[in-house]
Amino acid sequence: MSRKKGPRSRIRIHRGTLGGRFLHFYDEPDMRPTLARVREAVCSMIADDAESHGFLDLCSGSGAMAFEAFSMGFSPVYAVDVQDAVVENLQRETEALDAKIKTVRSDAFRFIRRGCEPGKYVIYGDPPYAAAGKFHPKMLRYLSEATWPETGSYYLAEQEKDAFPEAPEHLTLEKVKKYGRVFIGIYRVERAGRGDQDGQTDQNDQAGDTEA
């Protein structure tokens, strides 16, 4: 049974073909939409990659970054979140805005382990800030082991602290940007990793995936 939902909040999309349109979402536990100032700065940073890269919005929440990326011309675009209600809302919004975004209910680590079509991607990691200290090092390790992100891909790690984890093999921490109280660590993929062929998983890999 679906739980009763309250009023929806909304965010204005700033860039591209959907610029000026509104994205609607329900407030969920731990949901913290990326601030408009941060979204605009990140969009400016990655604008030149729109024609050559796909975009992954991990812990997507409101979907703001995924919709900005789609609007700018990134393809394919994935919005990944583990919460059923969040993904249901993302699906409604993709239909309402006619946005070709692949919505996926999945744990972020399991999704990275499963992988995408080989290519260049901008991968945006924006977990709840309280979890960022554990999330980003683990995500970097998963990306280091993955075979599908090609050289020239990026991992953008959002958090409240200016200390970022050391880059593992196949990634380089290029720079850290500060936007108010928010920091973005920019990691570049130097080459694809060897992958993990032994099928090992951990407790965070147990959630099932669904895609729409």
Q: pLDDT digits over 141-156, tens only? A: 999 999 999 999 999 9
Whether 189 contacts 170, CB under 8 Å: yes
pLDDT band at 211 (very low <50, low <70, confident <90, very high): low
Q: What are phi and psi of 116, to 5 degrees?
A: -120, 180
- Average pLDDT over the chain reads 88
56 alpha carbon, distance to own chain's centre: 5
User: Which tokens is 76 given?
Assistant: 């394919």
Whether 34 contacts 3, CB under 8 Å: no
**Domain covering 9-194 in this structure, CATH number:** 3.40.50.150
Q: CA–CA separation, 45 vs 67, rounded Å?
A: 16
C-beta atoms surrounding 66 within 10 Å: 30
pTM over 0.85: yes
pLDDT tens-place string over residues 159-204 = 999 999 999 999 999 999 999 999 999 999 997 444 443 334 344 4
pLDDT tens-place string over residues 104-128 = 999 999 999 999 999 999 999 999 9
